[in-house]
Amino acid sequence: MEQSHVLSVFVNNCVGVLTRISGLFARRGYNIKSLTVGETENPAVSRMTIECIGDAQIITQIKSQLRKVVDVISVEELKEDAVCRELFLVKVRANDTNRTAVMGVAEIYRARTLDVTPETLVFEICGDRSKLESFFDMMKTYGIVEIARTGVTAMDRG
């Protein structure tokens, strides 16, 4: 059954490593939903959080193919209850007539207001996917000007 899986891939923090990993996914036709990279507590090591879609066989393949990449140090598949977070910046259409209403909805989601103009509002919101998507759907009703998403970053509990 196809479903979403989150992989933590620890890689050498060196030139070209992102190309290597994204190239592997593109070449072999694996689906990436999101990919984020950042340095870890050890500056020589980066952590990639890759959200990918596939059935059990494909995910096993992805993990084995990743382990073959020389710059990959380890590959872990996160558990279903892992802590997953993503950050959205959302620019919404809002003017004098509905600004309060829009900000009221944002308040419910605990989104922060970063910028106000006569025609727009920019919100920052962080959370798990269902919360962010629900917020996004609500904001659509007011009219979204643009959105920037960081992609999921995640780790196991405990």
Partner 1 sequence: MKGAEIIAKVLKEQHIDTVFAYPGGTILSLLDALQGKRNLKLYTNCHEQFCAHAAEGYARATGKAGVVIATSGPGATNLVTGLANAYMDSTPLVAITGNVPLELLGRDAFQEIDIYGVTMPITKHNFIVRSVDRLAETLRFAFQTAMSGRRGPVLVDIPKNVFEECAKYTPAKPAASPIPLPAEESLSEAAELINASSKPLLCLGGGVIASNAAEGAYAFAKRLGAPVMTTAMGIGGFPQDDDQYLGLAGLQPNPSVTAALSDCDLFIGAGLRFSERMLQNIRGSSPDCKILHLDIDEAEIGKNLPAYSAVVGDLSAVLTSLLPRLNQKTLRIYPDNVPRDPLYTQIFGAFPNAIFTTEVGVHQVKACHSLPILHPRRFITSGGLGTMGFGLPAAIGAAIATDNCVVNLAGDGSFAMNMQELSTAVRYKLPITQIVFNNRRLGMIRDLQDRDYGGKHVLVETAPMDLPAVATAMGVPFVRSGDAESLPAMLEEARTQKGVCFIEVQTES
Q: Which stretch binds partner 1 (CB under 8 A): 40-48, 66-74, 86-94, 126-134?
A: 66-74
- Nearest-Å Rg of the Cα atoms of the chain is 19
Query: What is the closest distance, in whole angstroms, from the C-beta atom of residue 65 to partner 1 in the complex?
Result: 5
Which residues fall within 8 angstroms of residue 133, CB to CB, at 6 or more apart?
A: none
Owner of token pair 């910028």: 115
Q: Which two tokens stand for residue 125?
A: 């919101």
State yes or no: residue 29 binds partner 1 (CB under 8 A).
Answer: no
- Name which of 57 and 97 has its Cβ closer to partner 1: 57
Tell me the C-alpha distance between 98 and 15, whole Å: 48
- Minimum distance from residue 131 beta carbon to partner 1 (Å): 36
121, 36, 154, 34: CA torsion to nearest 10: 80
Member of 10, 20, 73, 131 binding partner 1 (CB under 8 A): 20
12 binds partner 1 (CB under 8 A): no
Q: Which residues bind partner 1 (CB under 8 A)?
A: 15-16, 19-20, 23, 27, 57, 60-61, 64-65, 67-71
